[in-house]
Amino acid sequence: MQHILVVDDEIGIRELLSEILSDEGYQVRLAENAAAARIFRGQVRPDLVLLDIWMPDTDGITLLKEWAAAGLLTMPVVMMSGHGTIDTAVEATRIGAYDFLEKPIALQKLLSTVGRALKQGGEQAQSALSLASLGRAPLVMELKQRLERVMALRTPLLLTGEPGCGLELAARFLHQRNTPWVAPDNHSALVEAPLDLLGQAREGTLFLREVADLTRIEQKGLLLAVTKLERYNVRLISGASADLAERVAQGVFDSRLYSLLAAATIRVPSLREHREDVPDIANLTLSRMVEAKETPPRQFTTAALNVLRNYDWPGNLAQLESLVRTLALTCPAEQIPVEEVSRALPLPIAALPATHNLSLDLPLRDARDAFERAYFEHHIAREGGNISRVAEAVGLERTHLYRKLKQLGIRLSRKTENGEPQ
């Protein structure tokens, strides 16, 4: 049974909404003010919140901002007001509200909005993090400001950063709610039917992961799609963890396509650049997993969080999320101690150059290739050749990992190529 939290200071409205929604088969909880809503949200994650804007203690917009800043806006929120304005509705939507209902609320409007919001909420719950939950370090705040400055633009945007650093989180931050979001798992559609992708994303956002890995024929399809963006009113956002300009210089990436994709470029910082946020991100990720009943109730000790903060996180957010899940599932006690964290962390990346005798006299490109080769060989050996676990550890999708290994000349056994240990 789906749980709905109704937050309104008027008892008559609370009781009316409770009666209507209960008759529809929902389990309804009531909160008379923001303070009561905070307590309830701190205990459980409701499937939907109906939140009044005008309340005596704390208004609904302020509470919405609080939840967004704390990473607690993991459920759809529908705002309610008897004297709202267009500006208020727009602001609420920008913060993260799903929709806005004007009082008195028509029965059919209420039920249809609730139904749509709950459907989206099931999808929303799958995402562990949002840009709002990345922390408050100066680099993160600067990233948000840069994204806000380009939010209204319709030109293509290129997001760059290390694998697993949160390029998709930044893209979703720019996405206009209640419009199509299309993010294909692979690039095959760019060959087969690039305009079909635009049709799916019409009036919304098309997000393409790792465009640096596009083949020549995929680049050709994307070039066609870019010329038709305006016709479909699609915002194109591309992600790249490799240097596209360098790929152009190497002759493996189309210069015309690069100039179009990079009309506006924003870099997303790596996790180690704002490591002061790591404890909060780890705690938030863990609480989300517990809320979703993916893991038993667990908590990190302070010492364990300090170890996480001091680690370099070469796989960034993807690696952190994977580690948190592993610890939550394997730790025998409710408190996750520092010993469990230290045992689960791989060897520091800083140790790799010495181990593999990397030369610092090489040209930058050759040195980077040598480092990446050593890095992936380390993880392949550590995971016993299991490519699925390697992909998870380094924060890459298997398709992208295979391409990277091929590019670096790392040969795999047949068993390994099938995703099995050697």
Look at residue 182 in the predicted model and tell me its pLDDT: 94
The predicted model gives 327-348 an average pLDDT of 88
Give the contacts of 11 (CB within 8 A, at least 6 positions apart). 32
Give all domains of the chain, ordered by start, each with its CATH number: 3-124 (3.40.50.2300), 133-267 (3.40.50.300), 271-344 (1.10.8.60), 349-417 (1.10.10.60)
Lowest mean pLDDT among 57-66, 81-90, 203-212: 81-90
Are 364 and 373 a contacting pair, CB within 8 Å?
A: no
Would you state the pLDDT for residue 414? 53
Q: How high is the pLDDT of residue 353?
A: 44
- Reported as a pLDDT band with limits 50, 70 and 90, residue 267 is very high
Find the DSSP H helices in 159-277: 167-174, 189-192, 194-200, 216-227, 229-232, 244-249, 255-261
Give the pLDDT confidence of 26-73 residue by residue, as tens digits: 999 999 999 999 999 877 889 999 999 999 889 999 999 888 777 678
Q: Is the pLDDT of residue 205 over 50?
A: yes
Q: What is the pLDDT of residue 359?
A: 66
> Where is pLDDT greater, at 121 or 307?
307
CA distance 257 to 245: 11
- Residues 388-411 have a mean pLDDT of 82
Summarised one tens digit per residue, pLDDT across range 352-394 is 444 455 666 778 777 788 888 888 888 887 776 778 778 878 8
Closest by CA to 386, choosing from 411, 344, 418, is 418
What is the average pLDDT across 399-413?
Answer: 82
What local confidence, expressed as pLDDT, does residue 124 receive? Answer: 52
14, 39, 58, 84, 310 from 34: Cα distances, Å: 14, 9, 6, 18, 36
216-249 pLDDT, tens digit each: 999 999 999 999 999 999 999 999 999 999 999 9
* Tokens 């298997």 -> residue: 398
In the three-class reduction of DSSP (H, G, I as helix; E, B as strand; rest coil), residue 25 is classed as coil
Q: What is the mean pLDDT of the chain?
A: 86
Listed range (270-279, 284-293, 339-348, 350-359) with the worst mean pLDDT: 350-359
Among the residue ranges 104-108, 117-121, 338-342, 403-407, the one predicted with the least confidence is 117-121
Q: Is 230 exposed, middle or buried (0-12, 13-18, 19+ CB in 10 A)?
A: exposed
SS3 of the chain: helix, strand, coil, percent, to 5: 55, 10, 35
Compute the half-sphere exposure of residue 383: CA atoms within 13 Å on the CB side of its CA. Answer: 20
pLDDT(295) > 80: yes
pLDDT of residue 389: 79
